[in-house]
Amino acid sequence: MRLHNKVALITGAGSGIGREAALLFAKEDAQVVVCDLNENAGNETVALIDAIGGKATFVRADVSKAADAKAMIEVAEATYGKLNVLFNNAGIFHPADGSVLDTEEDVWDLTMNVNLKGVFLGCKYGIPALQRAGGGSIINTASFVAVVGAATSQSAYTASKGAVLSLTREIAVEFARQNIRVNALCPGPVETPLLAELMSDPARRQRRLVHIPPGRLAQAKEIANAALFLASDESSFVNGSTFLVDGGITAAYVTAE
């Protein structure tokens, strides 16, 4: 069991990568704190974990709110006695996010509050818990667009993920000698509800697929497998990394169909 005796908190665990990671972590013997803004979705994840004999509890959290971020960490310690793994995974992609010329200020602010401030607050309140546990692993979900520009304009999302990558590096250096590792998980496009609306336009979908060497989107479980590695002791010397799981997008200049 790769996460035996570990307590893992996952934000955005009601669907997509977060749900797959929660299930996978539970299968590997972690006690999982499922965090999501959507109570029904979060409780469904807990029920799925219960069904496979795992241990999980749900806490509703808006990661952009300091009180909620603090409370979710407190629930982890109160329920399971410690926190070993923090997966700051919650994120949004606003349908009105586009070019810097067109994106409205409220769309920019909301995206930054969830995608960037949410990671900041998770680390702010989560790191003291990891310190109390003697160390641990933090995984921050960034994106391949933190490394290269997106094929279609999405200025707020891309900027937020680039900032997550920089913040991850900063924190990784600061806390490395306290046995705390911090890595940025950078997925390529993933077949999740978050991307479903964006990819509903066949032309827009094809414009993205042509840049992906395997010619398909990633499955959420494939990204969860990478998160499991970063959460486990197998990655004990992996710190401050830009952990790309993108099918080769960032390695390719151009890909033909």
Range 248-257 burial, b when 16+ CB lie within 10 A, else e: ebbeeeeeee
Q: What is the torsional sign of CA 69, 72, 174, 155?
A: negative
80 assigned to active site: no
Enter the tokens of residue 255: 């890909």
The dihedral region occupied by 232, where left means phi > 0, alpha psi between -120 and 50, and beta the remainder, is: beta
Residue positions counted in the chain: 257
Q: Positive or negative, the Cα torsion across 128, 110, 201, 203?
A: negative
Rounded Cα distance between 157 and 137, Å, is 25
Which listed residue (80, 125, 157, 253) is catalytic? Answer: 157
Pairing label, strands 190-191, 31-36: unpaired
Report the sign of the C-alpha dihedral through residues 252, 160, 45, 226, in that order.
positive
CA distance 156 to 169: 20
The residues annotated as belonging to the active site are 157
